Amino acid sequence: MEIETGMRVGDTPREDRSRGIFRIGAGLAALLAVAYVGGFFLFTAELHRTPPAEIPVSDGIVALTGGPDRITVAYRLLDEGKGMRLLITGVHPDVTPVSLKNIVPGEADKFDCCVDLGRMAENTIGNAAEAAEWVRRNDYRSVILVTSTYHLPRARLELSRAMPTVEIVAYPVFQDTLHLDGWWAYPGTTRLLVSEYTKFLLALAYRQSSMPS
């Protein structure tokens, strides 16, 4: 038997409050889960599927390590005159300039004169800090950011936080193993996208919390 207040016979006020708090918590958790899933679908839908048809000329080019395709694409942009210099950030200490130069097809004439290697960064936040210092040192006002398409949202967010007055032009890189269309049918792609989306949310939350009120 229950009375109109919703309390069951024998319930204490404390037990009733605990039950109410549990229901509220469960409702909030369900709302957060819906928001997370909905945001994830939006995140995947907005990822670049093709490279831009046109890319404006910028002061510099920044490539984040994580695959040889990023370096070859960034160097091609440098060779086409889309930037004055190229920074490859996050280079492992054991990687030599010669080995990186060998990744680039052709003679790579501009590699020795116009490519800088950053070796301090160990993650995307470090990439952003390294790029910001490079931009400040060269007095640049605009850069082309080259990284994998799934990584671009978070990378751009971190770079814009590290150098808010610099224009950042995104240039996505694509891998044959990444299946953006129909990603739900490919477990490897799904895991990668979920991981990157979660990291993006954490980076976004940190940025919002660190902004002056």
The fold of 60-210 is Rossmann fold (3.40.50)
**Averaged pLDDT of the chain:** 87
pLDDT per residue over 21-76, tens digit each?
Answer: 767 766 777 778 888 898 999 999 999 998 888 999 999 999 999 888 999 999 99
How far apart CA 148 and CA 69 sit, in angstroms, is: 9
The CA-atom distances, in angstroms, between 192 and each of 83, 91, 125, 176 are 31, 22, 19, 14
- Tell me which residue of 134, 119, 44, 34 sits closest to 84, measured CA to CA: 134
Is 167 or 34 the better-scoring residue by pLDDT?
167
What tens digit of pLDDT does each residue of 114-137 get?
Answer: 999 999 999 999 999 999 999 999
Q: Residue 37: which residues within 8 A CB-CB, separation 6 or more?
A: none
The per-residue pLDDT for range 101-113, each reduced to its tens digit, is 888 888 888 998 9
* pTM of the shown model: 0.83
User: 54 CB contacts (<8 Å, ≥6 apart)?
Assistant: none
Q: What is the 3-state secondary structure (H, E, C) of the chain?
A: CECCCCCECCCCHHHHHHHHHHHHHHHHHHHHHHHHHHHHHHHHHCCCCCCCCCCCCCCEEEEECCCHHHHHHHHHHHHCCCCCEEEEECCCCCCCHHHHHHHCCCCCCCHHHHEEEECCCCCHHHHHHHHHHHHHHHCCCEEEEEEECCCHHHHHHHHHHHCCCCEEEEEEECCCCCCCCCHHHCHHHHHHHHHHHHHHHHHHHHHHHHCCC
For the chain, the structural domain boundaries read 1-46, 60-210
- Of the pLDDT bands very low, low, confident and very high (cuts 50, 70, 90), residue 14 is low
**61 and 87 in contact (C-beta within 8 Å)?**
yes
